[in-house]
Structure 1
Amino acid sequence: MLMSCSKGKHEEFGRNLAKAFKSRQYKNFDTEAYNEVFKAELKKLKPELHDPNWITKIYNEENNDNGLTLVGAFLINGKLDNLHQNLLNAKYHGLNPEFFHSDKITELLNTVKTKKFKKVEESYPYLAQLELYSADGLINYANILKYGAVNPKTVLSSYYVSVERPDFIDAEKTLDLLDLDKFLEDLQPKNGYYQRLSNLLINDDKPETVQKLSSEDKQKIYLSMERLRWPVKEYKGKYLLVNIPEFTLRLIDNNTTDLQMKVCVGEAGGHETPILSGMIDRMQVNPVWNIPESIASTEIISSLRKDSYYLEAKNMVAYKNGELVNSPTVDWNSADVSQYSFKQNPGADNSLGQIKFIFQNPYAIYLHDTPAQAMFKQDMRAVSHGCVRVQQPMQLQEFLLNDKSKSEEIVKETEAAANGAKAEARWVKIKDPIPVFISYYTAWSDDAGNLVSSKDVYGYDKLLMPKFKAYMATL
């Protein structure tokens, strides 16, 4: 269990307080008397604390010597002031500083530093409150910066990124031995795009800034920063980022965009592209499209009932019990479509285009080329069944393979197929698999630090807002 400073150290603390804040009464500081007041304040303040169970575990009511864990270690040396400033700066994380008791800590720090108490006992409630509000503020600030304020699983059923939400500060650690300044520095999110969004808020707060952020843009930034705190795996090194609301794919290396392209994503209303991540480890050149049952049972069967030669016209085939069937001879009006599977053979008219990019996930989501290039001219590109269509597949395969000869071979192969040569499906392994993150940010930043604002195409901001509002900075 957490142990605090010794009694002798606390009495020395009183003498040091008197010297630091020029208040003689602090010299008469009595540890036992203070801790009795501390226990009373703990009981009184519990309803105001965000994590009373954690606080109770740390400040075990049976332990009469831990009521100055933070104040005893960090008040005189100024490190508690640094914590206070970090809590005030929570607004640059899109968070309300008052959620972390910053306003109360401001008043209490001023009181214990400047008030000339007639009796030392008058200082005990202020010091106890400073201790409790600081501890509760610290643990919640740490947990929110590390994991986010809201559990994404409670917002979206289609959030498929792993989530871990333990207490970031372990209750077994001794807080008065914590290197508080280093802990607070290390706690700051390292993601370059998070930092750029934070800088937008910092610049907006400067009096000399002429063009201020709108309330709508601020809200988008706040919600996007919250989402950036969610992933267990950080965005770092070389990776792909699909931003659904922006309809954009970025090929990123060390927070710099190497290539950016348009994408089409799942249509709202039942075909939304899920939020997930994985490692792209292979691609299929001249791919076969294994048509999902959801599409076969609706679009394919409907077309077949109108035209029994539909499959031939679309370079598709049907199988029953693993055997190829002659489509025009089947009575599709009475056929049980669940007994059939459908594929589209490789070719220039394949719905997956000339290449698809695979990463392991249980939802059969992947990135792929498309023959429907006209869609990329539209502003609204939520048009697919859920997979992500990419505008520049050849540039993407070059980025992934990082092998000029292999990339050139793929280009020649696909160009020949486009010109009428027989197309054969072929798998290509990616030597160094690359992370891909399919994400949802209505606010983003370009490499120059400018805000990129997008519409809430799936309405996910509206879903998050009610749960995040209690933590959110002012607009």
Structure 2
Amino acid sequence: MKFPFFAFFLLLFIAHVDGLHAQSEDEVSRLIRFRMESDEPMDKIEIRMISLLTTDEIIDFYNHRAFEKAWSQNGLLTKAAYDLRLEILQSEFDGLTPEDYHLSRIESFFRTFEANKANGVPNEPGDLADFDIFLSDAFFHLARNLEIGKVDPSKFGEDWEIARKEPVFTYPVLLEQALAQNDIHGSMELLYPKFSIYKKGREVIRELVEKVKEDTLNWKKVKIDKAIRVGESNSVIPRLRERLIYWGLLEEYNFQDVRLYDSIMMDGIKDFQGTHGLDIDGIIGKKTVLAFNDSPQQQLNTAIVNMERLRWLPDTVKNAEFILVNIANFQLDYLKNLDTLFSERVIVGKKYHESPIFMADMSYIVFSPYWNIPYSITQSEIIPSVRRNPNYISEKNMEVITPSGKVVDPSTINWNSKSFPYLVRQKPGEGNSLGLVKFMFPNKHNVYIHDTNARSLFALDDRALSHGCIRVRNPQDFAKVLLADDPTWTMEGIQTAMHQTQEQVVQLNRKIPVVLVYLTFWADSKGEAHFREDIYDRDEKVLLALKRNSLDS
């Protein structure tokens, strides 16, 4: 049978078209290779007079795949390209800036390609090549920012002394896997901090972004002279009621007196106090009013800053057992196998004696401790007190010792001398400023967790009161959970050890990471947002650094 002419012609046409596609495909890859090559040495590769954000990753990625394009096939964009554009857009919910990832340039390419598709015009190989490089570059830069943070925390000095994380992932390899599995979103999720509060925080930011767009309230700062209780009237009540309704903590209702603080409004006030770490007493005090003054934009800024701090946290925090102290929340949590076994209020360093941000391993507990008084406190507080009251040392159950440990009679010391070659320590007992036990994680700051003889201070909302150490309420319970692996340490035994005249040092059978952090925002497992006062005024510096395009990324 003769082969039909039209069939022969059709095969030739198909072969011709396939050849054109092959030529086009080869041209895109050739142009990508051409873009990677340069006749002049440079720190950054430039595409269309725009410097790429990465260098090694881009070169490694395309060299490994023989410069084959990643984001188009047969001259058309792949689903993965659209998926990555969405990830870049939604990086806003990570507290990042989508424009940092070539968004304007990428969107311009998308408009061109979609117009070409609508008009039946093929995409230019040069456009496809440049688009491919920009998109890959954006992936690598976004991946790094998600995994270890956009800003290097070491730039903030003592504000954050935890070393910057090293990347776990090799981003070109991660991108190859994402393309092979057609799962760009999944690859990005792998880079998120491994805490549930991070993903929950993204949802809060998504809601706050919409709140900011729709916000029409007057956020003029509200001030009060004295606390307001239920049944009292005040001119600020209408504005506070309006803000409670805005935040969804109070439904609109009929009230007789617009200025009256009634019991219905009190329920909303209590909910508000709960999400801001305040005593849930329904009393509108200065701390409650201060929290009410944060607009949606201010809350969004706070959330953005703390999402970055979560990206800074080290892998140690993912361990099965660790102690987390959130200084801004005045709270200590002991976690084991993802369960919170102990949670308690703490007192932290006051302004100018700020508790540092760092991590170290807890290795031992000291029951009935001496308080070895720092030289700075001896100079500023102890010596002046002795000059006013010669019996101060004995009244405070203290003793003076030489550097070698020999006890010296205070009456033989010239307390008016400029030279003071001694050490002062407070002996174990109920009046000891460290209380009855201290928990040691040796560090250069000489900061540790301890009991206190001023336990009434735990009732305060603002507990930034110490010289830098962390005071914990109910330390006997904390000791019990830390020593739970040893059945000989009963609560009775712990109480006995805490009431001795001599120190007793107990070595733990393992080292427990202690992480001191500063988080003024997080979202709980239910997705509820929690905000805390920026007691050390640190948020603004982080926010400004994040807003500077690609700083230290």
Question: Could you say which TM-score interval applies, normalised by the shorter chain?
Answer: 0.7 to 0.9
Number of residues of Structure 1 aligned to a counterpart in Structure 2: 441
Residues 428 and 501 of structure 2 are in contact (CA less than 8 Å); yes or no, is this contact kept in structure 1? Answer: yes
The Cα shift of 1:215 comes to: 1.5
Task: Give the match for residue 470 of structure 1.
Answer: 548
Gaps of 5+ in 1: 1-14
| 1:29-50 C-alpha deviation (Å, 9 max, x unpaired) | 1524763477469634353533
Aligned position for 1:460 = 538
Q: Could you tell which deviates more after superposition, 178-187 or 443-452?
A: 178-187
Instruction: Tell me whether 1:98 sits opposite 2:181 in the alignment.
Output: no
1:240-319 superposed matches below 5 A: 240-269=323-352, 271-319=353-401
Say whether the 8 Å CA contact 1:163–1:230 is kept in structure 2.
yes
Does structure 2 retain, via aligned residues, the 8 Å contact 1:283–1:356? yes
* 2:251 alignment partner in structure 1: none
C-alpha distance 409-437 of structure 1, shift in aligned 2 (>3 A): same
> Which AA in structure 2 matches 1:198?
R
Q: Which residue is 2:523 aligned to?
A: 445
Query: Quick check: 1:188 aligned with 2:189?
Result: no
Structure 1 position 329 matched with structure 2 position 324: no
Using the size of structure 1 for normalisation, the TM-score is: 0.82
AA in 1 matched with 2:489 = K
1:362 counterpart residue number: 444
C-alpha distance in 1 between matches for 2:65 and 2:197: 46
Corresponding residue for 2:217? none
Within 5 Å, give how 1:199-214 maps onto structure 2. Answer: 199-204=203-208, 211=247, 214=296
- Determine whether 1:83 maps to 2:84: yes
- Aligned amino acid, residue 295 of structure 1: I
| Identity in percent | 28
Conserved? CA contact 1:160–1:276, under 8 Å? yes
TM-fit CA distance, 1:252: 2.9
2:147 pairs with 1:152: no
Whose radius of gyration is greater, 1 or 2?
2
The 8 Å contact of residues 446 and 452 in structure 1, kept in 2 or not, is answered as yes
Whole-angstrom distance in 1 between the partners of 2:367 and 2:132: 63
Instruction: Report 1:285-434 matches (<5 A).
Output: 285-322=367-404, 323-334=406-417, 336-337=419-420, 339-402=421-484, 403=486, 405-413=488-496, 417=499, 422-434=500-512
Q: Can you list the C-alpha shifts for 1:57-87, whole angstroms capped at 9, x where unaligned?
A: 6567xx9952624546997652333322222
**Residues 51-90 of structure 1 mapped to structure 2, 5 A cutoff:** 51-52=54-55, 54-55=57-58, 66=67, 68-71=69-72, 78-90=79-91
CA–CA separation in structure 2 for the residues paired with 1:240 and 1:369? 16
Superposition deviation, residue 287 in structure 1: 0.9
CA separation of 1:90/1:325 partners in 2, compared to 1, >3 Å: closer, same or farther?
same
- Residues 38 and 125 in structure 1, CA contact (< 8 A), matched pair in contact too: no
Residues 111 and 65 of structure 1: is their aligned pair in 2 closer, same or farther, counting only changes over 3 Å? farther
In the other structure, the counterpart of 2:53 is 50
CA distance in 2, matches of 1:308, 1:45: 79
- Alpha-carbon distance in structure 1 between the residues aligned to 2:49 and 2:191: 26
**Could you tell me whether the CA contact under 8 Å between 2:434 and 2:452 is conserved in 1?**
yes
Report the CA distance between 1:98 and its aligned residue. Answer: 2.4
Shift of 1:201: 2.4
**TM-score w.r.t. length of structure 2:** 0.71
Other structure's SS at 1:279 match: strand
Structure 2 residue aligned with 1:10: none
Paired residues of 2:348 and 2:355 also in contact (CA < 8 A): yes
Other structure's SS at 2:333 match: strand
Letter in 2 for 1:466: L
Specify the SS of the correspondent of 1:157: helix
Given the alignment of the two structures, is residue 222 of structure 1 paired with residue 304 of structure 2, yes or no? Answer: yes
Aligned Cα root-mean-square deviation (Å): 3.5
Q: Which residue of 2 aligns with 1:161?
A: 162
The 8 Å contact of residues 35 and 65 in structure 1, kept in 2 or not, is answered as no
Distance in 2, matches of 1:64 and 1:359, equals 49
Given residue 188 of structure 2, which amino acid in structure 1 is its aligned partner?
Answer: L
* Corresponding residue of 2:133: 132
Instruction: Spell out, residue by residue over 1:87-142, the C-alpha distance to the aligned partner (whole angstroms, 9 max, x if none).
Output: 2221221112222234543443454366248875x512321232122112111111
Pair 382,444 (structure 1): closer, same or farther in 2 beyond 3 Å: same
List per-residue Cα deviations over 1:163-205 (Å, max 9, x = no partner): 234595367x595466563533422332122222123224556
Structure 1 residue 408 displacement after superposition: 1.4
Corresponding position of 1:12? none
The residue identity in structure 2 corresponding to 1:393 is P
Q: How far 1:264 moved relative to its partner?
A: 0.9
Letter aligned with residue 434 of structure 1 = I
**Residue 210 of structure 1, CA deviation:** 7.5
Q: Distance in 1 between matches of 2:191 and 2:65?
A: 31
The answer as to whether partners of 1:69 and 1:175 remain within 8 angstroms in 2 is no
Letter in 1 for 2:456: A
Contact 1:72 1:176 in 2 (8 A): no
Q: Which runs of 5+ in 2 are unaligned?
A: 1-13, 37-44, 215-244, 249-294
**Is the 8 Å Cα contact of residues 162 and 231 (structure 1) preserved in structure 2?**
no
Distance change (3 Å), C-alpha of 1:104 and 1:261? same
SS in 2 for 1:431: strand
Q: 1:215 to 1:124 in 2, by over 3 A?
A: same
**Structure 1 partner of 2:271:** none
Instruction: Write the distance in 2 (CA, Å) between the matches of 1:386 and 1:444.
Output: 24
Q: In the alignment, is the contact (CA less than 8 A) between 1:272 and 1:458 conserved in 2? A: yes
Give 3-state SS (helix, strand or coil) of 1:348's partner.
Answer: coil
Asked whether the 8 Å contact 2:32–2:130 carries over to 1, the reply is: no
Residue in structure 1 matching 2:26, options 31, 51, 59:
31
Contact 1:37 1:124 in 2 (8 A): no
Q: CA deviation at 1:206?
A: 7.3
Per-residue deviation at 1:341?
1.1
Following superposition, the deviation at residue 290 of structure 1 comes to 1.2
Deviation for aligned residue 1:307: 2.2
Asked whether the equivalents of residues 83 and 184 of structure 1 are also in contact (C-alpha less than 8 Å), the reply is no
SS of the residue corresponding to residue 548 of structure 2 reads helix
